[in-house]
Homo-oligomer: A and B are copies of this chain.
Amino acid sequence: MTTLTKTRILDAAEQLFADHGFSNTSMRDITAAAEVNLAAVNYHFGSKESLFIAVMERGTIPLNQERLRRLDELETNAGGTPLATEELVRAFLTPMFEVRNGWTEPRSKDSFLKLVGRSHTGLEPTLHAKLVGQYEEVIQRFSQALVRSLPHLQPAGLIWRTLFLVGSMSFTMTWAGTVLNNRPQAQLAPQEILEELIQFTAKGLSAPARFAGRTQATPEVGQ
């Protein structure tokens, strides 16, 4: 039953880390939720930190594979011409909203996404550094495609806009559940939320540059 125990731990840890964060989740919490022995985490994963890495990898690797697969597909179809910004954004964001395989419990689909959002903002630098490696290829490939898609924008501005995009995505992943529960008037299907996010970020990315010809004087005012 070794593999079953490992999966039970991964599922329980994923949800608890997503809901309470890494530091606020104890191994006692995890093993109790997974209904396994306290010592099982250290036996199977070595340490709490290694367990966290394992949880992240289980979700991130297939997620980023799917992103790259979609990008390949787009680039093949485009045959050398720059991609439309919206389609680029769609290829990056859609995999986050898809049902994924390999999970034991259906609810844990959402908890991994929540965890992804959390892991971008709330992580200790040491833990965060161990995760960015999983994104290297995705970052490089999509950045290149984005620069080709929006050649009139300055590279520096584009880097910041990409940050804005990731921020929108992360924040949404983390708060989607809470917002949906507390605001009945915000009810949208996941597909619709995804579409809103794609439109928002695609338009934002391709907004005309404003700061170009300016020094760093005060912008102030606002009319």
- Residues of A at under 8 Å CB distance from B? 20-21, 23-24, 70, 73-74, 77, 87, 90-91, 94, 117-118, 120-122, 124, 155-157, 159-161, 163-172, 174-175, 179, 183, 185-189, 191-197, 199-211, 214, 216-219, 222-223
| Bound: A117/B117 CA distance, A | 12
| Bound: A208/B202 CA distance, A | 11
Q: Which residue of B lies closest to A117 (CB)?
A: B121
Contacts of A163 in B (CB 8 A): 168, 171-172, 175, 179
| Bound: A185/B156 CA distance, A | 6
Q: How far is the CB of A36 from chain B (nearest CB, A)?
A: 24
Copies of this protein, total? 2
Contacts of A87 in B (CB 8 A): 222-223
| Bound: A201/B202 CA distance, A | 11
Is B155's CB under 8 angstroms from A185's CB? yes
Contacts of A165 in B (CB 8 A): 168
Is A156's CB under 8 angstroms from B187's CB? yes
Contacts of A186 in B (CB 8 A): 156, 159-160
Q: Which residue of B lies closest to A186 (CB)?
A: B159
Q: Given that A156-B185, A159-B183, A194-B219 are contacting pairs, would A118 and B124 also be in contact in the complex, using a CB cutoff of 8 Å?
A: no
